[in-house]
Amino acid sequence: MSSGHRLRDVEQQHPLLDREEAAAGSAVGEAERVWFIQDGCGMVCAFITWFLVLYADFVVTFVMLLPSKSFWYAVVNGVVFNCLAVLALSSHLRTMLTDPGAVPKGNATKKYMESLKLKPGEVIYKCPKCCSIKPERAHHCSICKRCIRKMDHHCPWVNNCVGENNQRFFVLFTMYIAMISTHALTLSGYQFVTCVKVQWSECSDFSPPVTVMLMIFLCLEGLLFLSFTAIMFGTQVHSICNDETEIERLKNEKPTWERQVRWEGMRSVFGGQPSLLWINPFAGLRLRRLLTTSSRKAGAEFSV
């Protein structure tokens, strides 16, 4: 490395290396692995998330809708609720299994730095924990053990960091969970009123005590999920519209980049002009390449 170049070991950064250069180093690796963080707490939280969504689906379908005497009431609400549940769980999977923007490990080599063609006096920043050159707005995650581009936070409920590449799916996850929570609470309220009118006879295939316990737990779950995801959804949209991650806001970091605010920020995260693709968690899913990679490696490669 030329004496005119300086390399600093820091944990926070305002580097000169842009995100396109950092992305180029990880583009090859992304096609060759399935991203999955092997964190015990995160895996337990992800399992709990799935269990609670499936529990809500069970109560709504088998306790409320199937015993209903109104055919169209049961069909319409069943289709809507189950579609929202599929979209929510799909968004959760995309958030959990998508590389959030990890900077390649150990790329702070003499050969790589010479390839950057830095001008004399320019400063680049190296993370001492993962030995990588940190692009602008990247932060090190102690759980993922990687530097993540535009890292917002690490969420144990999706067992992954929320960063540059998967923030869109995290926003969709919080939105769909908030929607099914609202739907479940509405159905529960209607079911309670109906059951009270008929004195809990013929309003469910389960006994009244079991029905009451299942619905009370569903209401508690719905209120908890709705409050949490609604707040997170609002926070994420606010961060996107202000082009400021949660870490940057908490650390009160002054922007050294050109901000993309409001609709520019939304387009940069969701891609292109507003369309139905924005709310589709399956958009951009390359299943064929994923299956080819898995069959060639005889199983998914877990990246930590």
What is residue 281's three-state secondary structure? Answer: coil
Q: Are 113 and 15 in contact (CB under 8 A)?
A: no
Partners of residue 162 on adjacent β-strands: 153
* Distance (Å, whole) CA 100 – CA 28: 15
Q: Across the strands, what pairs with 154?
A: 161
Pick the catalytic residue: 127, 144, 155, 203?
A: 155
DSSP for 102-160, please give it. Answer: BPPTT---HHHHHHTTPPTT-EEEEETTTTEEPPTTEEEETTTTEEEET--EEETTTTE
Contact of 1 with 116, CB cutoff 8 Å: no
- The number of residues in the chain equals 304
SS3 content of the chain, % helix, strand, coil (to 5): 55, 10, 35
Backbone φ and ψ of 276, nearest 5°: -65, -20
Cβ 147 vs Cβ 103: under 8 Å: yes
Query: Is 155 labeled as catalytic in the residue annotation?
Result: yes
Six-digit token string for 107: 């790329």
3-class DSSP assignment, residue 133: strand
Relative to beta strand 123-127, strand 132-133 is antiparallel
Cα–chain center distance at 102: 15
Would you name the residues annotated as active-site residues?
155
